[in-house]
Amino acid sequence: MTKTTQIWHIDDPADPRVAEAGRILREGGLVAFPTETVYGLGANGLDAEAVAGIYRAKGRPADNPLILHVASIAEAKALAREWGDAAQRLAGKLWPGPLTIVVNAAEHIPAIVTAGLETVAIRYPSDPIALALIEAAGVPVAAPSANASGRPSPTRAEHVLDDMGGKIDAIIDGGPCKVGLESTIVDLTVEPPAILRPGDITREALSRIIGEIRDVEVGNAGVQSAEMRNAGQSDADTPKAPGMKYRHYAPNAPVTVLEGEPQAVADFLRKRLAPTKSPQQKTALLLSTETWRYLAMGGAQFDKDEKSHYCRDMGSRDKPWEMAALLYDALRACDREAATQIFVEACAPEGQGAAVLNRLRKAAGDRFIQV
């Protein structure tokens, strides 16, 4: 059934349409909204019927649980069966912000939210419109990223409209998301706590607050088994963030990640791309500012404006958060431009770079080339 999806451009959290959107949520509807990480697709988290609508609109597998979004630490506590010291310290220091905490779930949370797990993921976002919306709804808001399942997460309202137009009640357009990658997820129900998904809040920031922490990301295929071996786990262990096992973040064309210094990346591309003149081929190049500079200096054998290329400057190599903010928009643009192959330059693995590389691994599989 097709719905009319209203689109509201809102930059003031006091805009009366936020209250209207909150009412839609409370009464069982679906509203997409901006957060500091990516756009979320919200429903009343205590209404199983409404939450079922999220799974339908996204085409999301039923075994992939949702994050509950709250607008205060007190509300988060009310969703947890236990709220330990680590939860209290992380919440006190890093909320509101791009951090999701997994704790044992309170009994009143519908099973469809947790996909039947004993645990629940909770996030208190910092985006002012998201907070105003959650307050207006007056209930915890269940919200996955507002993309169709398997597509890159939306970081702009246009991305949400592309995937969800006609399927949901409203989209609040609050402009581009600042972080651009999904929140860091930390599981506090295991000892030591585990990072299930890296994000803008780095492992260093977390361990400064709660000490020892391990990475137990359940990725796809090779990534998963390598990391689980490192963690001394068997594949029989329950996947901790069920969503991480699905293919994600993938545009239509194959993605190849190039690892190496800017000059080496530039040399590789110059050699590799010079002969590509076929009109059926369109190569997307998502490269650092530094590498574009080398390509310009050395005389790239292809023209940035040429129709056979789609070129994007992803920001400085030393500032992985710039690449994080642009990545999903760039991957979606590759689809729009009908790219037939995509080269993305890797960033350094430190700090937020870990989250960027994690998403690149999911988009590229094992297509990493050391140049």
The binding site for ligand TXA (CB under 6 A) comprises 35, 37-38, 40, 64-67, 100, 102, 114, 117, 119-121, 123, 143-145, 182-183, 185, 196, 240-244
Tell me which residues in 17-46 interact with Mg ion (CB under 5 A): none
Q: Which residue is nearest to Mg ion (CB)?
A: 145
Distance (Å) of CA 293 to CA 266, 272, 307, 315 = 9, 18, 20, 12
> What number of chain residues touch Mg ion (CB under 5 A)?
1
313 binds, among ligand TXA, Mg ion, none (CB under 5 to 8 A by kind): none
Residue closer to ligand TXA by CB (options 40, 262) is 40
Residue closer to Mg ion by CB (options 61, 211) is 61
Adjacent-strand bridge partners of 4: none
Asked if 145 interacts with Mg ion (CB under 5 A), we say yes
Residue closer to ligand TXA by CB (options 171, 266) is 171
Considering the complex, what minimum distance in angstroms separates the CB of residue 17 from ligand TXA?
20
How far is Cα 71 from Cα 371, in angstroms, rounded to an integer? 46
Nearest CA to 104 among 126, 86, 119? 119
114 binds, among Mg ion, ligand TXA, none (CB under 5 to 8 A by kind): ligand TXA
How far is Cα 291 from Cα 298, in angstroms, rounded to an integer? 11
Residue closer to Mg ion by CB (options 19, 148) is 148
Residue closer to ligand TXA by CB (options 133, 285) is 133
Considering the complex, what minimum distance in angstroms separates the CB of residue 32 from Mg ion?
13
142 binds, among Mg ion, ligand TXA, none (CB under 5 to 8 A by kind): none
Which residue intervals of the chain are DSSP H helices?
Answer: 16-26, 48-58, 73-78, 85-94, 111-114, 128-137, 157-164, 203-210, 221-230, 262-273, 289-297, 320-336, 353-364
Considering the complex, what minimum distance in angstroms separates the CB of residue 66 from ligand TXA?
6
Adjacent-strand bridge partners of 215: 195
Considering the complex, what minimum distance in angstroms separates the CB of residue 125 from ligand TXA?
6
How far is Cα 329 from Cα 325, in angstroms, rounded to an integer? 8
Residue closer to Mg ion by CB (options 18, 195) is 195
Residue 104: Cβ-neighbour burial (10 angstroms; 0-12, 13-18, 19+): middle
Our CA angle for 192, 243, 342, nearest 5°, is: 115
Question: Dihedrals φ, ψ of 281, to 5°?
Answer: -95, 135
Catalog residues that contact Mg ion under the rule CB under 5 A: 145
